[in-house]
Structure formats: structure tokens, C-alpha cells
Amino acid sequence: MSKTPLRQTSRSLPIALLRARETVMGPVREMLSASGVNEQKWRVLRVLDESGPLDQSLLAEKACLQLPSLTRILKAMDEQALVTRATDPDDRRRSIVTLSEAGRQVIEDHVDANRALFQRLEAAFGAERMETLLDLLEDLNRTDLKG
Amino acid sequence: MSKTPLRQTSRSLPIALLRARETVMGPVREMLSASGVNEQKWRVLRVLDESGPLDQSLLAEKACLQLPSLTRILKAMDEQALVTRATDPDDRRRSIVTLSEAGRQVIEDHVDANRALFQRLEAAFGAERMETLLDLLEDLNRTDLKG
DNA sequence: CGTTATTAATTGCTTTGTTAAGTTATTGCG
DNA sequence: CGCAATAACTTAACAAAGCAATTAATAACG
């Protein structure tokens, strides 16, 4: 009845990644909980703050969101007046998203808590190990399997 | 108009983790696409195969799913006859989930492709680096911030 | 030009994630 | 014992992910 498992996955990369996402983003969600922006909107705000106005395809790529999700999120953020959207005059298919002053203010309201959070994480985990982890993750994401 | 960004996030752990999830699980989703099980059901099957029958709370923990999600997923998997559920006689709040023969068969049908996939990833990324990455992720997940 | 292909964004549909509230069973304790 | 507290799900409600199909604008090219 109890055959041996078909595969031993004592160490599973997918599961470890899922857990890590929760470990890291759980506290961020908590920090944002009372602010009207969630994790995804927060990523959009941060990307726009860092990169300046972007078309939606690039924004989706940088914020790790699918275009359909971004469309819906931007609709809400537009209504919240956190961003504005304008058709690109040079290519009227494109819509350029710009951070509003209110959007910038939301970042300002949470950036200290956010930094503190990641500094605590870095202190607990070790700054050097954090560097290594980031290096490895970025390399992994460059690793393509079309070999 | 263009003040400097409120924070420079050239290297963002959350974004790197999200991308890694996509890098790793994208091919797995593709592999499973024609099989009637998705990523989450696959995780449930694998955990049950590896650990044997489990109550739902433990299963949720091991498969990285929330209980409400697991409830719905198990309902579907029960209808697909991939698992069976039975009330624990010692604690009738608990429901013990068991892998069915059909469920085991689904694993068997994909385990080779799955292993090949991760071996390709390991070959491209480097086995040693993969070990390091797993170590770091597992440590990160043990790092708690209640300090 | 004009027709076809491609690209950017949106919409529709189903499943999952997240939070909170509700059920039923068990435990703790006065 | 009896009653409050806790635990294991379940249900509900809404946002988001994922995928396919659609619309609108631009590019490619015969």
C-alpha cells in the first residue's frame, strides 16, 4: 500500500521561493495595510518613482505584473489619483503612466518604515549573505532554459 | 518636477523573488498544462506522495497554500478522484487527505519531465550555486523579524 | 497605396490569494 | 459538569493571477 515516493523532494526550490515571498512580503503587506495601497500598487509606485514615466508594457515588466493585471490596477490607481495616464503622441497605442504628487506622497509616507523593515531583515540575515542571495537570484533569472 | 527618487532600489529582493518564481515555475506550468492539474494541485500531490496522508492544516503548510485555497483545491481534486478525504476518528474536526492511485499515477506521468526540467536548470545555473541558493532561501525563511 | 502582420492595451473568464466571519469539535478550568 | 476559549476547517466576498480573445494603432511589404 505504501510504495516509496516517486521522487524525494526534501529540498524544493519552488516551495522555498514561495515561502521566501511570504517571509519578505508579509511584513510589507502589514506595513501598507492601512494606507489604501496594496503590495502591487506599491510596486507600481516604486517603479514609477525610480524610473520616471513609463508605458504600460515596460511598467508591467519592471513591476513584475502581467499587462491585464496592470490595466486593472492602473484603473484603480487612476481613480485614487495616484497616477495619470496619457496617450503617447508618437505612438497612440501606447499609454504613458506618470506618478502624481499624491502618489509620490504615499511613497514618502511609507518609505521610512519600508527601509527600516529591510534593514531589520538584513541585520537578522546578514548583509553579506543578502548580497549573495540577491546575486544568485538575479543570475537565476538570467538563466534561460532554451539551451 | 523630477525630484530625485525617494529611494534607490536598484536591487530589490521582492522583485527578484517574484521573477525567480516565474523563471522556475513557468516551465513547470507549461509541463502540466495538458494534464488537468495545475501548479497548486501538483504541489498537493507531491507533498502527499512524499509525506503520506496528512490533515489539511499540515498539508496547507507544506504545500504553501492557505487553508481556504486548499479547501477549494481539495474539493476539485476529490471530484477528480486524485485524493480522498476522511474525518480523523481521534479528532473529528480534522480531515485526513490521502493520495489515491489515480493521484499517484498523475505524478508518475510527469515526474520524469519534471526531473529533467530541474536538471536542466541545475546544469545551466550550476549545481553548487543551486545548493547555496537553497541554503540561503531556507535560512531566510527561518529568519524571523520579531527581534 | 492596400492588405497582412505585429504591437499595445483592454476585456472576459476561471482559479487562486487574502481577509474576515461562521460552524462544528475539542480543550481548559472554575 | 458546564461554559468560555481555542482549533480545524468552511464559506463568503473581493482583488489579483493567468490565459485566451478582442480592439485599435502601427509596421511591413508586395
The three state secondary structure string of B42-104 is: HHHHHHHHHHCCEEHHHHHHHHCCCHHHHHHHHHHHHHCCCEEEEECCCCCCCEEEEECHHHH
pLDDT single digits (tens) A53-84: 999 999 999 999 999 999 999 999 999 999 99
In which band, very low, low, confident or very high, does the pLDDT at A35 lie, cut at 50, 70 and 90? confident
Q: In this model, does residue A43 exceed pLDDT 60?
A: yes
State whether A24 and B9 contact (CB < 8 Å): no
For residue A2, give the nearest of B134, B63, B98, B60 by alpha carbon. Answer: B98
pLDDT at res. B147? 44
Distances (CA, A) of A99 to A44, A71, A91: 9, 15, 20
User: Which residue, among B42, B141, B144, B146, would best test binding to A if mutated, counting the most A CBs under 10 Å from its CB?
Assistant: B141
Contacts of B30 (CB under 8 A, 6+ apart): none
pLDDT at res. A123? 94
State whether B52 and A2 contact (CB < 8 Å): yes
Strand B54-55 and strand A83-87: pairing? Answer: unpaired
* Residues making up chain B, counted from first to last: 147
Could you say which nucleotides of strand C lie within 7 A of any protein CB atom? 7-13, 15-20, 24-27
pTM: 0.89
Given a contact cutoff of 8 angstroms between Cβ atoms, the answer to whether A54 and A43 are in contact is no
Regions of chain B where pLDDT drops below 50: 1-2, 147
Phi, psi of B128 (to 5 degrees): -70, -45
pLDDT at res. B36? 85
How far apart, in whole angstroms, are the C-alpha atoms of residue A43 and residue A62? 9
pLDDT at res. A34? 78
| CA pseudo-torsion sign A10, A14, A17, A19 | negative
Which one has a higher pLDDT value, A125 or A143? A125
